Amino acid sequence: MEANTKTIKSLAVLCSGGDSPGMNSAVRSVVRTAIGLGIDVYGIYKGYSGLLEGNIQKLNLSSVGNIIQRGGTILDTSRCLEFHTPEIRQEAAHILARKHIDALIVIGGNGSFTGAMTLHQEHDIPVIGIPGTIDNDISGTEYTIGFNTAVQTAVNAVDNIRDTASAHARTFLVEVMGRKSSFIALQVGICTGAEHVVLSNQAVDYEKIVNGINKGTERGKTSSIIIVAEGEKAGLSYEIKDTLMTQYNLSVHACILGHIQRGGSPTALDRLIASKMGYAAVQGLNQGLHCHVTAFNKGEIEMVPLSACMEGKNESTEAQLELIRALAI
How far from 218 is each of 118, 194, 213, 329, CA to CA, in Å? Answer: 58, 17, 9, 12
| Residue 179 C-beta: closest distance to ligand F6P, Å | 4
Cα-to-chain-centroid distance, residue 211: 34
Window contacting ligand F6P (CB under 6 A); options: 53-61, 89-97, 127-135, 185-193: 127-135
Of 137 and 195, nearer to ligand F6P (C-beta) is 137
Of 18 and 216, nearer to ligand F6P (C-beta) is 18
Q: Does residue number 135 form part of the binding site for ligand F6P (CB under 6 A)?
A: yes
| Of the residues 178, 212, 266, 284, which one makes contact with ligand F6P according to CB under 6 A | 178
**Which position among 19, 102, 135, 137 bears the catalytic label?**
135
Query: SS3 of 204, please?
Result: coil
Nearest to 150, CA basis, from 186, 176, 114, 123: 176
Q: Does residue number 134 form part of the binding site for ligand F6P (CB under 6 A)?
A: yes
The number of residues that bind ligand F6P (CB under 6 A) is: 10
Q: Does residue number 196 form part of the binding site for ligand F6P (CB under 6 A)?
A: no
Q: x/- site string to ligand F6P, residues 250 to 269, per CB under 6 A?
A: ------------x-------
Positive/negative CA dihedral, 297, 30, 21, 95: negative
| Of the residues 133, 136, 187, 267, which one makes contact with ligand F6P according to CB under 6 A | 133
Window contacting ligand F6P (CB under 6 A); options: 31-39, 63-71, 92-100, 172-180: 172-180
Of 25 and 133, nearer to ligand F6P (C-beta) is 133
Q: Going by C-beta distance under 8 Å and a sequence separation of 6 or more, which residues neighbour residue 110?
A: 137, 138, 139, 309, 310, 311, 312
Whether 135 is catalytic is yes
Q: Are 180 and 137 in contact (CB under 8 A)?
A: yes
| Of the residues 177, 295, 301, 306, which one makes contact with ligand F6P according to CB under 6 A | 177
Distance CA 226, CA 214 (A): 13
For residue 230, the number of C-alpha atoms closer than 13 Å in the C-beta half-sphere is 17
Window contacting ligand F6P (CB under 6 A); options: 45-53, 60-68, 177-185, 301-309: 177-185
Q: Name the strands in the sheet holding 56-58, side by side, starting at the edge strand that comes first in the sequence.
A: 56-58, 40-44, 10-15, 103-108, 127-131, 291-297, 300-305
Q: Cα-atom radius of gyration of the chain, to the nearest Å? A: 22
Window contacting ligand F6P (CB under 6 A); options: 6-14, 25-33, 84-92, 176-184: 176-184
Q: x/- site string to ligand F6P, residues 223 to 242, per CB under 6 A?
A: -------x------------
Q: Does residue number 274 form part of the binding site for ligand F6P (CB under 6 A)?
A: no
The interface with ligand F6P within residues 57-96 (CB under 6 A) comprises: none
Distance CA 204, CA 223 (A): 20
Q: Does residue number 175 form part of the binding site for ligand F6P (CB under 6 A)?
A: no
For residue 95, the number of C-alpha atoms closer than 13 Å in the C-beta half-sphere is 21
Distance CA 183, CA 17 (A): 18
Q: Does residue number 47 form part of the binding site for ligand F6P (CB under 6 A)?
A: no
Of 16 and 223, nearer to ligand F6P (C-beta) is 16
How far from 47 is each of 52, 213, 310, CA to CA, in Å? Answer: 9, 45, 18
Q: Does residue number 270 form part of the binding site for ligand F6P (CB under 6 A)?
A: no
Active site amino acids? 135
Residues that bind ligand F6P (CB under 6 A): 18, 109, 133-135, 177-179, 230, 262
